[in-house]
Amino acid sequence: MSSEDAIQNAADERAITHILTRYARAIDRFDMEMLRTVYHPDAYDDHGSYKGDIDGFIEFLNEVLPRFETTQHFLGNMHVELDGDVAHTETYCQAWHRIAGTDGSPDHDSVTGLRYVDRFERRDGEWRIARRQIVIDWSRDDPVAGEHGGRSPDTQYGRRDHDDPVYHFGRD
């Protein structure tokens, strides 16, 4: 492999991993406009309980995500196999979902170990997801211990909208 090819491969892998981390931010900040930028318009997503196109996936998320007080998707190992304008990836993820208790029951965290198995395609010089399948490796539910709502007024907490600090910190 020439040094030029190696540099291009590194740039392609970086572009793909950037898309993967942008996906996590879009989900956790409930930013459907950003989410749309990680998929090609004709992409297919198999999330288990949803299988279909990106428009339907966004409709599905608009129904499902508000059920959670907060989410956090922590990405781990990322394996990228490049083949010209196609890449196959496997990305490990731990997804945390805080669910409010009801009828006096405590809040709980639903935690899932999963993998994103993706087909990326470079079209018009831009990498995006063309096909995604979620593979669940394990999951569990944990009750939230301690007093709910005991937040410190001096601490900045994450938000699920464009008022989250990530959208404006250091840009004001």
Q: What is the CATH number of the domain that holds 53?
A: 3.10.450.50
**pLDDT at 97 (0 to 100):** 95
The answer, yes or no, to whether residue 37 has pLDDT greater than 70, is yes
Which tens digit of pLDDT belongs to each residue from 101-120? 888 788 899 999 999 999 99
Q: Domain span at residue 105?
A: 3-147
Task: Look at residue 164 and tell me if it is in a domain.
Answer: no
DSSP β-bridge partners for residue 80: 89
Output helix, strand, coil percentages for the chain, rounded to the nearest 5.
30, 45, 30
CB 129 within 8 A of CB 140: no
* Residue 74 CB-density burial (10 A; 0-12 exposed, 13-18 middle, 19+ buried): exposed
Task: Look at residue 18 and tell me if it is in a domain.
Answer: yes
Lowest-pLDDT range of 35-49, 53-67, 139-153: 139-153
**pLDDT at 163 (0 to 100):** 80
Computed on alpha carbons and rounded to an integer, the radius of gyration of the chain in Å comes to 18
Q: What is the total count of domains within the chain?
A: 1
Say what the pTM is.
Answer: 0.89
Structure token pair of residue 98 = 């805080």
**pLDDT at 41 (0 to 100):** 98
Task: Look at residue 155 and tell me if it is in a domain.
Answer: no
Average pLDDT (59-65) is: 95
CB 87 within 8 A of CB 117: no
Task: Look at residue 92 and tell me if it is in a domain.
Answer: yes
CB 157 within 8 A of CB 149: no
Task: Look at residue 17 and tell me if it is in a domain.
Answer: yes
The answer, yes or no, to whether residue 148 has pLDDT greater than 50, is no
Task: Look at residue 105 and tell me if it is in a domain.
Answer: yes
Task: Look at residue 94 and tell me if it is in a domain.
Answer: yes
Task: Look at residue 132 and tell me if it is in a domain.
Answer: yes
The set of residues, in sequence order, having a beta carbon less than 8 Å from that of 37 and lying 6+ positions away, is: 22, 26, 128
